[in-house]
Every structure is written in C-alpha cells, then in structure tokens.
Amino acid sequence: MPQVMEFKLPDLGEGLTEAEIVRWLVAVGDVVAIDQPVVEVETAKAMVEVPCPYGGVVTARFGEEGEELPVGAPLITVAVGAQSLPAGAAEAAEAEGSGEAPRPLIGYGSDHSRPARRRRVRPVTAAVSAPVTAPAPAPVPALAPAAPAAPAGPVPVISPLVRKLAKDGGVDLRALHGSGPEGLILRADVEAALAALRAPAPAPAPAPAAVSAQGERIPLKGLRGAVAEKLSRSRSEIPDATCWVDADATELMAARAAMNAVGGPKISVLALLARICTAALAKYPELNSTVDLAAKEIVRLPSVHLGFAAQTERGLVVPVVRDAQGRNPESLSAEFARLTELARSGRLAPADLTGGTFTLNNYGVFGVDGSTPIINHPEAAMLGVGRIIDKPWVHQGQLAVRKVVQLSLTFDHRVCDGGTAGGFLRHVADCVESPAVLLRSL
C-alpha cells in the first residue's frame, strides 16, 4: 500500500512566520518528483517557489490562491510508493517509500513546527485516480448547539493561556468541541467561539452612499505588513536622532561624467555615494553596528553589507549588497543594477533582502530635497540623499550656480554621540564636494 505523506509549509528563513499562496503549480492527481516546485508563495520579503521533498501522486492541496498560511500548516499530501505511480515515476518515489522523515530542503530551516499565527486551512479536494484517499480535514471548531448540560469531568484543556482567554471572554469551555488530539481544546477553538459571540446580527445591505462613507479597508499584510512592523519596531526600540547638511556635488558629478566618458560600464551616482559611505564607515565604524539588548552590548560588524532602497510595484524593498567595502564603483553599479532588476520583477530571494548593516536611501529620485529616514532595524544608521539640483551657492568667495544636494543621517544614539555622527556626515559631504578627499581615505 502506498503511504500518504503530508508536506507542510516550511520555514522560509529569517524569521518569516507566514506566506500567501500566489499560484498552485500542481493539481490533485498530478505526479510530482522529489524537490519539484509545487506552489508559488509570497512572503513578506519575496516570491518563492516551494519544492516538495516527496515523490508520488498529489492527493490533496490545502489552501486557496490568495490565502495566507502559517509556517507548519499543511500544503499538500502525496501518496508515496511504487504501486501508486505511473511507469517511469516509481524509481523517484522509492527513495521516499521507507517512511523516514524528509530531508531538509535546501535553504530552509529544519524546524517546520515553530509557533505562528494560526489559521484554519481548508483542503482543496478533487477526484484522484490513484487508489489512495486524502486525510479528512479537521472539523472547524464552533460553539455547541443548545443541549443538556455537558457531562461532569475534566475539561480537555492543557494551556493556562487558553483557559484565561476563555474566562476573560466569557466562553464556557464545556460547550466547545476541541479540534486538537482527542478533543483537546486549542486557542484557535476559543478564538473561534469568541468571534461567534461577537459577530453582529445580519443587517440589510447599506445604501451605496453609506458604503463609501466607511472608506476602503486594505489588509496590512505581506510586504506592506512587514514594512509596517519593521518601522514600528524601529521607532519603538531605537532612540534615533537626525543630522543633515547641504553639500556642493558639482565636482562629484563632473568626476562621474569623466569616468563614464572613457567607455566601459556606466557608473551610477548611487555607486559613487555607496563608495563614499563605505570609506566613511571605515573611519567611523560605530555606525556599522547593531545593539544586542539581551547581552547589553554594542556589536561592531566587520563587513559592510549595504542596503539600498528600491521602489517596486509591490512596494519599497531594501536589497543588500554583500561586502560592499571591497567593491569599486564599477562593481557597485553592476550589483545595484542586478538587484534592482530582480526587485522589480519580484524575483529577489529572501537572502537578497536580509543581513544589511547600513542603508543608503536615495529618495532624491522622487524629486524631494530632504527627509528624516527611519533606521532599518536592527541597523544603527541610514544615510538619506535628496535630489541634486542647481542652486545659488558661494563658491570660492563668489556667488555661483552649483549642483547642491542635501544629505541626512539618522543614527541610533545608543551606539554613538552626535560628534561621531556629525564627523561621519561631514566626511561624506567633504568627499561629495571634493572627490579627491575620498582618495586620501582609501
């Protein structure tokens, strides 16, 4: 007899606890090979194709496209065994027919049962020609209908948090049907009961004017939810401060034009600013650090993994250039272009969006002069760059029209004082005004 194996949504790394189903790549009844992608999901960081560690026949899918699942929730079940497969697929399935635990997928954590925000998942079923039946879904917890008093005896609840939740909400635990093993009452059961108690009575549909008066509600989830969570955490945990300075970028722009005039790959303004940042961080390493609250320590980091803000159709993302301190402007330009293209096409991997130590935010592309950046937690600083425009400027004692840019530095006041932050920003401004200063710091 074939063995039915359940494949759960794996831990996709970097603290992600949930993902939204974008597109199913297999249907019930399809034959899948080991490590074949079966579903495309969208996490708070990127679009990911999830491969299945089993080979066999798909007997059930769990979750609809557009539905959000927590890590550890079932994705599909697969009938594993030579007799359940068409000719040519048996050999691939034999490796999984022993019933042993699946090998971890490359790039995933091995623990797929980490607690997460739970959601009841409905299986998507269809007829299957293979002689296997999919396991039936667990019943949705609900309040029991009116009936005689529940029999005496212990209530099947283990968690004190579940008991407190029920007590605070006025839910009678004896009136619930637990969805856990042997009728165990879970937190999800109590929350479902509370939702049923609080649900308003049906009302007639409001007139169109009343609907518009309520405003549009947009779920704060996915990328937008992750951004909101990270920015809120930054504001609540980091005592930040901001300093700024105007700089004459005329010489920097002239240097870029001269570099690009000799042929070869074009060098971007962002790449020049990034090279200036890495040189300044070498001089002021306090700003390339993070705070370990548990150990009460400031951790200075040996490498500069430079994040840069990129606007996409999905929203703002921050790809990371690894070991930026060892790259020249040409290499930085190429890497910025590569990561930006991946970001705009939605093909960035989670690893491309994590691990940054300092962020460069060129909001000047939006036509604004200045801003007060919010630090990309858990980093310690972010440099913001406004648009470079012609302005009146005193140059060599004379009023002239020069290309001026505003630079803003937001920093974590726990890692340094204003003198260090000011010194960093002044060094950046000096390199912008006179690129020869950069050569002295290399």
Q: Is 138 exposed, middle or buried (0-12, 13-18, 19+ CB in 10 A)?
A: exposed
Alpha helix stretches (DSSP H) within 132-175: 160-169
Closest CA to 384 of 404, 357, 354, 359: 359
SS3 22: strand
Q: Which amino acid is at 47?
A: M
CB 121, CB 63: distance < 8 Å: yes
Tell me how far apart the alpha carbons of residues 80 and 357 are, in angstroms, rounded to a whole number: 45
Alpha-carbon torsion 323, 326, 329, 331, what sign?
negative
SS3 81: coil
SS3 174: helix
Four-point Cα dihedral 11, 300, 334, 430, nearest 10: 150
Please say if 413 is a catalytic residue. Answer: yes
SS3 163: helix
CB 269, CB 385: distance < 8 Å: no
Q: Which position among 177, 305, 395, 413 bears the catalytic label?
A: 413
Q: Which amino acid is at 135?
A: P
**Could you tell me which residues come within 8 angstroms of residue 369 by beta carbon, excluding any fewer than 6 positions away?**
386, 387, 389, 406
98-115 burial, b for 16+ CB within 10 Å, e for fewer? eeeebeebeebeeebeee
Active site residues: 413
